[in-house]
Amino acid sequence: MLFVGEYKHSIDAKNRLFIPAKYRDMLGESFYITRKMEKCLAIYSETEWNKLTDKLNTLPDSVVGSIKQFLYSKTISATPDSQGRVVLPPELLSYASIDKNTVIIGVGDHLQIWSDKLWEEKENAIDTEALMEQLRQLGL
């Protein structure tokens, strides 16, 4: 399963976000939405969520306790309605500075939901030379 692409959608008055059909098919009936450190939200399929949590659970709380608190405290299990929408709680929207317009991007094993403004800023700040150097160092 490889999430790729970029889709723009708006949050409606009831805090519902449309998840593109292509992504819904890959995510399954229900999935997890949580915070990322980058001021965006992440959507994980149940399989990928279990991989992430299994990794965290192999480490002692003295090492990952704060990460678990950050991650689990605001995570929701979501099931799209018949029109493919999920309700995003106000605290998740606030965390990611999402007011209305969003960008949903595929990043391999999961999706990210960005405020359109923050995503544009991030895109404009990309240092392609630094990325090329990083790729060279990784042998890619």
81-140 per-position pLDDT tens digit: 999 999 999 999 999 999 999 999 999 999 999 999 999 999 888 788 888 888 888 888
Is residue 117 a part of any domain in this protein? yes
Give pLDDT tens digits for 12-32.
999 999 999 999 999 999 999
Is residue 1 a part of any domain in this protein? no
Per the structure, the complete domain to which residue 48 belongs is given by 6-138
Residues with Cβ within 8 Å of residue 56, at least 6 apart in sequence: 64, 67, 68, 71
Closest CA to 109 of 59, 28, 21, 43: 43
- How much is the pLDDT for 1? 76
User: What 3-state DSSP class applies to 66?
Assistant: helix
Please count the CA atoms within 13 angstroms of the CA of 42 that sit on its side-chain side. Answer: 20
Q: How many domains does the chain have?
A: 1
pTM: predicted TM-score of the whole model, two decimal places? 0.91
Three-point CA angle 96, 100, 104, nearest 5°: 60
